[in-house]
Structure 1
Amino acid sequence: MALSVRTLDDGAWVSVADERRTGASELWRVTGVCGCPIAEFVVEGVTDVAVDGRTVAAETYGRCITCGRSTTTGPIPVGRVLEGRYEPIDRNAVRRPVGASSTV
């Protein structure tokens, strides 16, 4: 079963199977986007979305509310495709860009 994955509303949302799943104005806990050990990152927009294996990842831009740094990210996991359905990443989980290494 194939699921469509795309951005909606000029980068405001990640859509999976034509449902808005994650998007702008959300607060993510992310490593590797600024000098903070764990950034409290406010997503201001989604620039791209893709599936790598089972992982659905979004490239975004936003700001760390702790240090104030604005940045564009590499692909950050937002969910997984398991048995043909989408499962979102736990909102409290610490995320890291795909391919980035971290000791956190």
Structure 2
Amino acid sequence: MPTAVHQLDDGAWISVNDTREVTVSDLWRLDTDDFCPCRLVDFLSEGFVEVGIDGARVEARVAGQCIRCGARGVTDWLTLGRVDPDTDTFYPVAPDAVRHSGCASHDSG
């Protein structure tokens, strides 16, 4: 069964299979050179810009800012979690995990 992924409330939430799963206003650690000069970005997520699915991974481009240096912008694709293909259950990335950007391809959900 295909996974349905949508933005809700003007980019404040991501819905996976008609359930609100991921919200903004969280602080995420990013390992990327593309957002700002900080070695490890302390990223305050402010809004989902685009969502997609890459295999079992649910991914998004997210607007926000680095709270260390103040840089603002939109991330490259970040993995938000994965959907188990057997049970259709969504498993989010752990809140304290370091997220890596630059996932390759996407299908709109």
> TM-score, normalised on structure 2?
0.85
Report the Cα distance in structure 1 between the residues aligned to 2:44 and 2:14, rounded to whole angstroms. 15
Other structure's SS at 1:48 match: strand
**Quick one: which of 66, 74, 81 aligns to 1:79?**
81
2: CA distance, partners of 1:98 / 1:19: 26
Residues in 2 aligned to 1:20 and 1:10: alpha-carbon distance in whole angstroms: 13
8 A contact 2:78–2:103 mirrored in 1: no
1:31 aligns with 2:35: no
- What is the one-letter code of the residue matched to 2:16? V
Q: Counterpart of 1:93?
A: 97
Partner of 2:11: 11
C-alpha displacement of 1:28:
0.8
How large is the RMSD of aligned CA atoms in angstroms? 1.4
Kindly provide the amino acid, as one letter, of the partner of residue 62 in structure 1: G
Distance in structure 1 (CA, Å) of the matches to 2:10 and 2:71 = 23
Q: What is the rounded CA distance, in whole Å, between the counterparts of 1:64 and 1:94 in structure 2?
A: 14
Check conservation: 1:13, 1:23, Cα contact below 8 A.
yes
Answer yes or no: is the 8 Å Cα contact 1:24–1:46 preserved in 2.
yes
Letter in 2 for 1:65: I
2:66 to 64, 72, 78: 64
Alpha-carbon deviation of 1:24?
1.6
**Aligned pairs, number:** 100
Task: Name the % identity.
Answer: 40
* 1:77 and 1:98 in contact (8 A); partners too: no
With 41-50 and 24-33 compared, the bigger mean Cα shift is at 24-33
Report the TM-score when normalising by structure 1: 0.88
Once the 2 structures are TM-superposed, how far is the Cα of residue 3 of structure 1 from its aligned partner? 2.5
Cα distance between partner residues in 2 of 1:38 and 1:65: 11
